[in-house]
Amino acid sequence: MPRYDFRCRACGATFELRRPMAQAGDPAVCPQGHQDTVKLLSTVAVTGAASAGGAPQQAPSAGGGGGCCGGGCCG
Ligand SMILES: [Zn+2]
């Protein structure tokens, strides 16, 4: 059974819960009784959603045949 890490936003405590994947998105209750918790993505790998950095994209650069030299203005 996978293990999920949660963090309580009320008291700042972190705790772990073991639950089936079907209940991964269910709200968890802090051991102190708080219900304002968030799930941490530390143990569950997320694939396909990471897009760090940036895709190599060709930026339009100068010097690739400008429209200025058509009439001999710069040569
Ligand atoms: Zn708490």
- Per-10-residue mean pLDDT of the chain, 75 residues long, equals 92 94 88 94 54 61 61 65
pLDDT given at position 54: 57
**φ and ψ at residue 35, rounded to 5 degrees:** -115, 0
Give distance in angstroms: CA of 53 to centre of ligand 1. Answer: 35
Task: Work out the number of other CB atoms within 10 angstroms of the CB of residue 44.
Answer: 13
Q: For residue 50, what pLDDT is reported?
A: 47
CA of 6 to the centre of ligand 1 (A): 10
Q: What does the pLDDT read at residue 35?
A: 95
